[in-house]
Amino acid sequence: MVVKPSSITRIGFVQVILAATFVVWLVLFPDTGVNFAWPIAPRFTAMFIGAAFMVRTFIGYFLWREKTWNRLTWQMWGNYAFLMVVFLATFWHIDEMNWKANIIVAHVWVIAYLVEPLILPLVEPRGAHRNPPQLPEDRRGPIFTGLKRVMVAGLVVSVTMVALMFLNPLFLDTRWPWALDPFDARIMSAFFALTSLWCVTVYFAEDWGEIRLAVFGLSIFAVAQFLVWLVILPQLDPARPNIYSYGVGFGLFAVLLVYYSARQELAARKASLPGVAQEQ
């Protein structure tokens, strides 16, 4: 068992506070997104980013509350991917931040996403402790082949979104259900970078207990975006492309994730019953 460094506890606590604030602000008050760290518009983009920060709240909670590093490795590569892309997007568009309209939030954002990607690699366990063996009590059985296939599909879509959003957001704007700003698109790509690395992490895992929280995080992201789509659907311009394929895609991904999560949990519970494990 590898004890989690106390510095990660503090990082997790700050992350929960900031991410939860962003969720409430951008989901419930999307029209005020223009007063965020940078001006987010239209309101649909604000709601996308706000809902996506639910995943960051989810990660931050476990970084804050979990006691051992063994139970945190599921988030590591996805978290790094997110932080790297946000760092690059922020400094690419640093001149577009709300330095005059909301200088405090602009500074909070820049400092948060400068400090976290620099500090985390310094305080995380190193060497053999970086990838500690799974604790026996955390084992929950093999991962279903069907779930791994869902991860492959999720990886392909997520990497495609990262490439388009970060490298060619102007082209993606012609294919997106609402108008897309390059700065917004590059920040949004960070969440797809996170999901892509989580898909890889799940695919290569051997036991459900290793990555169940990563799958739950993917489920939160997909369900949140599907619900946002349902809310904004009546307000979208019908002349824009892919309005329905966007929502169907998130909805299908959400259903498959929830379905396989339920099956994995049920199989793990059955295996833990007296006499069942021996029969398997």
For residue range 13-36, what is the model confidence (pLDDT) as tens digits? 999 999 999 999 999 999 999 999
Does a structural domain hold residue 116? yes
Per-residue pLDDT at 218 exceeds 70 = yes
Euclidean distance between CA atoms 77 and 194, whole angstroms = 8
Does a structural domain hold residue 52? yes
Nearest to 156 by CA among 192, 128, 115: 192
Does a structural domain hold residue 91? yes
Euclidean distance between CA atoms 106 and 26, whole angstroms = 15
In the chain, what percentage of residues exceed pLDDT 70? 97
Does a structural domain hold residue 41? yes
Q: Which residue has the tokens 């500690």?
A: 132
Does a structural domain hold residue 1? no
Does a structural domain hold residue 65? yes
Domain count, the chain: 1
Which has the higher per-residue pLDDT, 59 or 274? Answer: 59
Q: Which domain holds residue 128?
A: 6-272
Does a structural domain hold residue 280? no
Does a structural domain hold residue 277? no
